[in-house]
Structure 1
């Protein structure tokens, strides 16, 4: 029996040893895999840290004005931050040093914010403290990113290279027109056709400013009548609600008239875009003024005379409002940082850049867009020809994107800012380094983004959706996409919501998809989607525009107006 137990125990011991060896091998492989992943992640983290150190050294030596730590320690006006938390919101504590009665208003604002607000607001305040406090817009005297970057010799060399490319493109167009067509056009045909009826646009622009100035006095009338009805709360609410309805109706009529005039006058694309963009800008300006100053009026008395019965709300003088209408910002303040003098050489350089890019656009239209799509609807077209045309427009579309950014957000806004001595020139940030679409949308157009954030997102986040950041952001995206589509649709006089799909659907999806992408890969993906998406979008709009003019289409049913002409021409 003892021998049998020894013989039975031996296989058991050997089986246990084999299991231990198997388990050890598995643990060793698992450990090796973990160490390999750890080493890869560690190397990526070390590479990111080393890259940040190299960028910091580069900023410290070449790009001194972009070093945030040095700028905050040496010159507070050189900061590149856009917002900060404030104890008093701009709606209750504006800077009024350049406006009359500013001193009396500042003394009146010395009391705490909680003492001026109604009892109901104080009761709701503990609930609002749990919600994330959104920072306020801060205006600081500073230059634009490219203005500072072009002070560095390396970046100035790249600027010179692009200038030479523009000159060579100009010579290419001149030689082509002279040797092929027997004349020199210089894109003037595009200017003549695109700027037709521009005098009508100028006349409408003047009438719009009459309406905008009338809003200033209408707002003053609402505030003064409301202050006189302090003892009659029911009448005060009725008056305020009636004025609110009239204000919303006036804004809707203002937008409707500008769009309907594009169709009535049959404005070409450039003239229509000028009218639509200027009308949209004035709408945003009016809402900014009303939204900012309405908070003052609703908070109570801001200006008190000797007798209590003469108490009136503080309202900014007319010159503050007029300056805001032409200032290159959509955020209202009573005054802004101002420069000491106008740099006429700087302003003239920006103006010449605007003219140069305008000619560049004319050349691209004549040599690429019209060349590729001018006969669309008349010529035979298969999938292979369509792909060739779309990919042939990729590079010109990328140039259109970059030149449009430079002409509007840098040259034009810096030109107007210099003439008005407007100090805060941060009209955009370093969007070209963005590795997510969150950063791209925030940094591409700071002027419009600030307005959407200040007057749409904050109100939706605070009052409508009660702290829901995602829903408020999605609604802001939808509003922005609709306005972009409205400008393009009425400018081209067609219904073709490609911009809405690219901006409001695909762009929103990319915001969530690219948040976890690595920096280098994310930046590559951002640029790829920008170049490819703009190439496809410009190609589709060009095809739809020429298809509606080249094809003899009938519009017998309402569906014919919304069916793309691209489809109807070839099917």
Structure 2
């Protein structure tokens, strides 16, 4: 009996142990499921909060009238007529209170006279309110912030998938049709030919730009020594100004003439011309910003003005490579470099470069390489133009992404440059003036700060329309100069599209409804870029395929595509 009872107890204990193990396993599984669900819920809540914050930021950024200094997407800081911001006017309120106390002690007649005088001064100050200044702040690019949202990230992944499928299509076509895989290396070899000459010229240009710093310092020191001799000081400043303008003209002339003398291909010529234009804009920004401080006799810092003749060479060198065209002695800097982020931007640029090469081989060269040899009528021309609409749209969008997002974010990350607002939400624009302001903020800031404001203050005397037209003409001429010398032909289609049609659309679309305006904007951008790339391709291949004679000056300005068929 004792043995049976002991066996029974052992069996019961084994059953209890089995039940206990099952309960522990169930408890562990339940705890794991609860933890997983809680983790998912926390992630969903955090993602909803982040998306709500981003939505509020972008909603505030679209409200142009109510944008304030607290909005990270706000690019300007209002100025009063005396050059102070609104914040400095508010900080002067103790002085206004002391003036009011002094007025209370005066007689009623003088008090009335002072009140009238103060009202007149306030009215004049409001009428002469200055244009806002560029402000720098810590902020990411629009797409960097948008891609933190899961839905936008999915669209980004879809584009990556389409890009991979396009590459596979090209590889399969090369292998099964051509018999070998090319990877568009012929296009790269032809476009980047003589790139070592470009690098040598680039180094010499940077030596010239560094010499400008010491030349400007010499002008400032000599001007300070001639302070007691007004006539000599004025002669020295005017002579230095003439030398500076001459140096800028020579700098631009040498870079453009070298494209013709070295017979640079299109890509190498674009690299040289765009880099030369960037350095010209950098030099003018440095001289224009610091010349005003030298003429004022003091260096204005963020806290208060203090006497100082020139900024440091370190600030100047950092500015030369920083992804901005607006000079400041210092910029917002990040604490560290995100190497993974920088590598992703670099790989994106490489992928877009290969995509451009494939588009050139599969579409541009395929459509137009026989232009000038084959018969061309209205029907054939229309088919070619519409066949280039979709590839031109891809070139337009990928060019924006590669230069204004990938390249500028890549250089910003390496230099720890904090302000990444290189563009705004131009894709939501329903007017062309909003599109031009938001498309390329880097160049727009330079045109606004050093062309528009100076023209508004000193040349056009308060006329915003005339100042805007001058900005458009300068921008259109520079765009045409880069394309014309890179392709080595006179064919001012870019100037007409940008400086004439673009300006007309600015005034025509100002009162357009938002939905219809945005649709028309995208329609005109896709149509315009398709026509632009098609016309330049026709002209380029017509000059190569047609044996044209140049006996009169009109032969140089008449388009080759016209002379080929007429």
Q: Deviations over 1:162-192 (max 9, x none)?
A: 0111111101111111111111011111100
CA spacing shift, 1:91–1:85, aligned 2, 3 Å = closer
> Residue 426 of structure 1 contacts residue 446 of structure 1 at CA under 8 Å; is this kept in 2?
yes
Gaps of 5+ in 2: 1-48, 62-67, 86-120, 301-305
Partner of 1:412: 407
Partner of 1:173: 170
CA distance in 2, matches of 1:298, 1:320: 20
Greater shift, 181-190 or 248-257, is seen at: 181-190
Partner of 2:74: 81
Matches within 5 A, 1:403-552: 403-552=398-547
CA distance in 2, matches of 1:301, 1:416: 32
Matches within 5 A, 1:44-59: none
> Residue 142 of structure 1 contacts residue 425 of structure 1 at CA under 8 Å; is this kept in 2?
yes
Do structure 1's residue 570 and structure 2's residue 565 form an aligned pair? yes
CA distance in 2, matches of 1:91, 1:317: 25
State the Cα distance separating 1:380 from its structure 2 match: 1.0
Gaps of 5+ in 1: 1-56, 70-74, 93-123, 304-310
State the Cα distance separating 1:64 from its structure 2 match: 5.2
Partner of 2:52: 60
Do structure 1's residue 212 and structure 2's residue 209 form an aligned pair? yes
CA spacing shift, 1:90–1:318, aligned 2, 3 Å = farther
Matches within 5 A, 1:141-160: 141-160=138-157
CA spacing shift, 1:256–1:565, aligned 2, 3 Å = same
CA spacing shift, 1:538–1:224, aligned 2, 3 Å = same
How many residue pairs get aligned? The number is 474
Residue 402 of structure 1 aligns to a residue in which SS? Answer: helix
CA distance in 1, matches of 2:124, 2:209: 38
Residue 242 of structure 1 aligns to a residue in which SS? Answer: helix
CA distance in 1, matches of 2:82, 2:498: 32
Residue 181 of structure 2 aligns to a residue in which SS? Answer: coil
Matches within 5 A, 1:5-24: none
Partner of 2:104: none
* Backbone CA RMSD of aligned residues: 2.4
> Residue 80 of structure 2 contacts residue 129 of structure 2 at CA under 8 Å; is this kept in 1?
no
Residue 178 of structure 2 aligns to a residue in which SS? Answer: coil
State the Cα distance separating 1:68 from its structure 2 match: 3.7
Matches within 5 A, 1:75-114: 79-86=72-79
TM-score computed with the length of structure 2 as normaliser: 0.81
Partner of 2:340: 345
CA distance in 1, matches of 2:79, 2:330: 18
State the Cα distance separating 1:335 from its structure 2 match: 0.2
Matches within 5 A, 1:22-37: none
CA distance in 1, matches of 2:427, 2:494: 21
> Residue 297 of structure 2 contacts residue 307 of structure 2 at CA under 8 Å; is this kept in 1?
no
The runs of at least 4 consecutive aligned structure 1 residues that moved more than 3 Å come to: 61-69, 75-78, 86-92, 124-129
**Of the two, which has the highest radius of gyration?**
2
> Residue 149 of structure 1 contacts residue 155 of structure 1 at CA under 8 Å; is this kept in 2?
yes
Do structure 1's residue 325 and structure 2's residue 320 form an aligned pair? yes
Do structure 1's residue 270 and structure 2's residue 267 form an aligned pair? yes
> Residue 86 of structure 1 contacts residue 136 of structure 1 at CA under 8 Å; is this kept in 2?
yes
CA distance in 2, matches of 1:294, 1:76: 28
Match for 1:239 among 227, 236, 241? 236
Do structure 1's residue 260 and structure 2's residue 257 form an aligned pair? yes
CA distance in 1, matches of 2:467, 2:81: 23
> Residue 421 of structure 2 contacts residue 441 of structure 2 at CA under 8 Å; is this kept in 1?
yes
CA distance in 2, matches of 1:125, 1:332: 32
